């Protein structure tokens, strides 16, 4: 294992500290926790707080999306491990401004359970909390750590759209309505070229041969749905677009946003080759692709691979929400 770390057991603590020190105008660390919160909150215009998080190893998720127009706080669990209820509750207490807090939770058993327990703690202190469970991965159901479909890179679109509504003053109930309409319209599927190495484990979670790939792998290295020989980008795009087409039941003229996401070790050069193939295929389907984003947003440590997310824009304001400017470390333009 070759990694630029000190003690493997200190990776998350040192990462959180380094991030907070690097971007103090964006975020600050809640003392004695693995919680990062906004450091630019406007005191005179409180809004619903958005809290997300999960196991570390998916950077820039979730702390990279803290800031005006997106998240209020991110809770960093240990690598590929759900954050604890008390850490989540510390985030709630740090960012709730009396308008309530909304949780954005990826669909993993530990995350769902621990965020629910944190909600119970908040209820005891009369802090209103609501939540949405993101389950955008269409590859498999009831995989490792999951009941139902996994939450993966589509979570970033949820951060962005709900962040827009929170920023413009939507109530907790109004954000819940948007979330319940939004999440079913987001679908993701991935392909892996290599496994991820958790620092404290010291070896990849799974091993693929030099000429082998696996379709449908999860962001913690959970099993996919098929292994086979490496194919050219155009054929990978055909496989992933085909799965999304079947899941969405594409109709001519439908409007979509597209996110091509690197899993940690895939160069941007390859991501742009892949998105070119994807967009050509979607053009053949006569869909309107109104927004495209490419880069590393929901990674899996050092996994080589790529995921493809599509959001069906059934509400016109969602495009406005995605395009709205934000002030975060990782969203970009």
Q: Which of 150, 220, 243, 312 is catalytic?
A: 220
Q: 109: Cβ–Cβ under 8 A, 6 or more apart, which residues?
A: 145, 146, 147
Q: Which of 29, 38, 58, 243 is catalytic?
A: 58
- Concatenating the DSSP letter of every residue in 243-290 gives HHHHHHT--TT-EEEEEEEE-BS--HHHHHHHHHHHHHHHHHTT-EEE
Is 62 a catalytic site residue? no
Please say whether the dihedral angle defined by the alpha carbons of residues 22, 331, 188 and 238, taken in this order, is positive or negative. negative
**22 burial class (0-12, 13-18, 19+ CB within 10 angstroms)?**
exposed
- What CA–CA distance (Å, rounded) separates 38 from 70? 10
Strand order from edge to edge, sheet including 49-56: 27-29, 35-38, 73-79, 49-56, 101-106, 129-134
- What CA–CA distance (Å, rounded) separates 142 from 134? 14
Is 220 a catalytic site residue? yes
Q: CB count, 10 Å around CB of 44? A: 4
Residues annotated as catalytic (active site), given as ranges: 58, 220
């Amino acid at each position: 294992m070759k990694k630029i770390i000190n003690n493997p057991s200190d990776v998350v603590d040192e990462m959180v500290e380094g991030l907070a020190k690097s971007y103090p105008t964006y975020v600050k660390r809640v003392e004695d926790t693995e919680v990062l919160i906004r450091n630019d909150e406007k005191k005179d215009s409180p809004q619903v707080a958005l809290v997300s998080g999960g196991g570390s190893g998916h950077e820039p998720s979730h702390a990279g999306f803290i800031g005006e127009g997106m998240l209020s706080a991110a809770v960093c669990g240990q690598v590929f491990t759900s954050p604890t209820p008390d850490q989540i509750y510390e985030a709630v207490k740090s960012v709730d401004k009396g308008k309530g807090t909304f949780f954005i939770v990826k669909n993993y058993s530990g995350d769902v359970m621990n965020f629910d327990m944190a909600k119970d703690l908040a209820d005891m202190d009369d802090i209103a909390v609501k939540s949405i469970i993101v389950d955008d991965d269409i590859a498999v159901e009831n995989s490792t750590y999951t009941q139902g479909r996994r939450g993966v890179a589509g979570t970033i679109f949820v951060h962005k759209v709900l962040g827009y509504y929170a920023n413009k003053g939507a109530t907790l109930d109004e954000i819940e309505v948007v979330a319940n309409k939004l999440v079913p319209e987001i679908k993701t599927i991935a392909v892996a070229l290599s496994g991820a190495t958790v620092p404290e484990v010291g070896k990849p979670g799974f091993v693929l041969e030099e000429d082998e790939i696996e379709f449908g792998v999860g962001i913690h290295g959970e099993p996919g749905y098929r292994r086979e020989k490496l194919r050219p980008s155009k054929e990978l795009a055909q496989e992933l677009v085909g799965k999304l087409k079947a899941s969405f039941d594409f109709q001519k003229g439908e409007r979509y946003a597209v996110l091509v996401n690197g899993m940690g070790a895939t160069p941007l050069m390859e991501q742009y080759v892949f998105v070119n193939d994807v967009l050509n295929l979607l053009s053949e389907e006569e869909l309107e692709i109104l927004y495209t984003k490419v880069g590393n947003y929901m990674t899996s440590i050092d996994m080589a691979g790529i995921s493809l997310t599509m959001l069906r824009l059934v509400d016109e304001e969602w495009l406005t929400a995605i395009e709205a400017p934000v002030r975060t470390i990782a969203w970009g333009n």
